[in-house]
Amino acid sequence: MSALFRFPLLLLLLGFACLELHSQTAIKIGEFASLTGKEAAFGQSSHKGTVLAIETINAAGGVLGRPIELLTEDNQSKPGESTTAVRKLISRDRIVALLGEVASSRSLEAAPIAQGAHIPMVSPSSTNPKVTQIGPYIFRVCFIDPFQGAVLAKFALDTLHARRVGVLSSVSSAYSVGLAKYFRAPYSAAGGTIAIEQKYSEGDKDFKAQLTAIRAADVDAIFVPGYYTEAALIAKQARELGLTVPLFGGDGWEAPELLEIGGTAVDGCYYSTHYSPENPAPVVQRFVKAFQARWGGETPDAMAALGYDSALVLADAIKRAGSTDGARIRDALAATQEFAGVTGTTRMDADRNATKAAVIVEIKDGRFRFLKAVAP
């Protein structure tokens, strides 16, 4: 090989070496999210919160003196895609920790892979208890459905004074089935009566049959565990049938689409969630301002706040671990105590779930209003 050829080759090699050096200085964190598809509203919010958190950390000098690099993969809200995305992040991009997902079913897909590779995974907002049961490397920064179910049961009895409720839940969604189950026991134990339980299938748009049956059962309130698309249509059709009782649900209701599709029908309805931008706490107000400045005036919802907190909790653990070794980050995550985030104080329990307060939001005059916070 002539010297003429060798020279550019050398330059090229040198270039690669420089790139390699640069990527070694950044700490790589992977994120898999539903940026498109059915739950895109949730995935996008959560992703924006995470990006803001990483940028804030890097602006303050990063972690362990190194910047954090966020590598994001989209799973299109489809089953099966998360597995591929997470395998790629771990084996090709060599991430040190993983953030994701909103939907419990997709977190459940990725968790065994992260656990097998000993990569710590922090889910921002999957509330199904099974997620962290996969193994000791899986964490979450939100409360779980048994807690949410108990909060809602107490709220229905004490605040709504509803002695008889009707439940309208999905046949197949893990979230909806789980939340209905965790509501039933504490509500009945506290003296409430579940007058009627009706089911709908995924993709249904007509709920009049079930609502007519609920109307005949003469209830004080209707519990609708499910996602915003169904909840909005259910509220609309309930009002068309002349049902004026309040409807209430869980954090799956949290999306602007609920107001857009539901219109005046969702007025006077309630749901429990992780956070409210109207919470006057200074840490929340600072976050709302920073988020609006970064994302063109958009007000952050609960998914954005949890996405933000998940990245901060992880960065805090890496800082305390003093290394990017998976096992040491895991131990630091498990030892998280009294971490003050925008969704409340995070404390990891023995099952790697965060215990924190829930917020009840009231829908009034076409807006989400902070009603109260319920401590665990």
Partner 1 sequence: MIEFLQQLLNGLSLGAIYALIALGYTMVYGVLRFINFAHSDVFMVGAFVGYYLGRLVPEGTVWGALVVLAGSMAACAVLGMTIERLAYRPLRGSPTLNVLITAIGVSLLLEYSGQVFFGAAPRNFPPVIPSARISLGGLVLSSNQLIVIFGTCGLMWALRLVVLRTRIGMAMRAVSLNPQAARLVGVNNDVIISFTFGLGSALAGAGGVLYAINYPSIDPLMGVMPGLKAFVCAVLGGIGNIPGAALGGLILGTTETFVGGSSWSTYKDAIAFAVLIVILLVRPGGLLGRPSIEKV
Binding residues for partner 1, rule: CB under 8 A, are 36-38, 40-41, 77, 171, 198-201, 203-206, 208-210, 212-213, 215-216, 229, 232-233, 236, 240-242, 257, 260-261
Q: How far is the CB of 108 from partner 1 (least distance, A)?
A: 22
First to last CA, the chain: 72
Place of tokens 């006057």: 280
**Assigned token pair, 368:** 């989400």
184 or 215, CB closer to partner 1?
A: 215
Q: DSSP letters of 311-370?
A: HHHHHHHHHHHTS--HHHHHHHHHT--SEEETTEEEEE-TTS-EE--EEEEEEETTEEEE
Q: How far is the CB of 215 from partner 1 (least distance, A)?
A: 8
Angle separating helix axes 174-189 and 145-158, nearest 10 degrees: 50
Q: How far is the CB of 11 from partner 1 (least distance, A)?
A: 41
Q: How far is the CB of 342 from partner 1 (least distance, A)?
A: 25
Query: How long a stretch of residues is the chain?
Result: 376
Place of tokens 């800082």: 319
Q: Report the alpha-carbon distance of residue 312 to residue 309 in Å, rounded.
A: 5
175 or 207, CB closer to partner 1?
A: 207
125 or 343, CB closer to partner 1?
A: 125
* CB distance 14 to 54 below 8 Å: no
199 or 294, CB closer to partner 1?
A: 199
8 or 296, CB closer to partner 1?
A: 296
Nearest Cα to 44, choosing from 130, 125, 140, 160? 125
Q: How far is the CB of 262 from partner 1 (least distance, A)?
A: 9
Q: How far is the CB of 204 from partner 1 (least distance, A)?
A: 8
Task: Tell me how crowded residue 262 is: count the other CB atoms within 10 A of its CB.
Answer: 23
19 or 213, CB closer to partner 1?
A: 213
322 or 366, CB closer to partner 1?
A: 366
Q: Report the alpha-carbon distance of residue 330 to residue 340 in Å, rounded.
A: 19
What does the CA dihedral 289, 346, 310, 253 come to, rounded to 10 degrees? -70
**DSSP tag of 63:** B
* CB distance 265 to 361 below 8 Å: no
Q: How far is the CB of 338 from partner 1 (least distance, A)?
A: 37
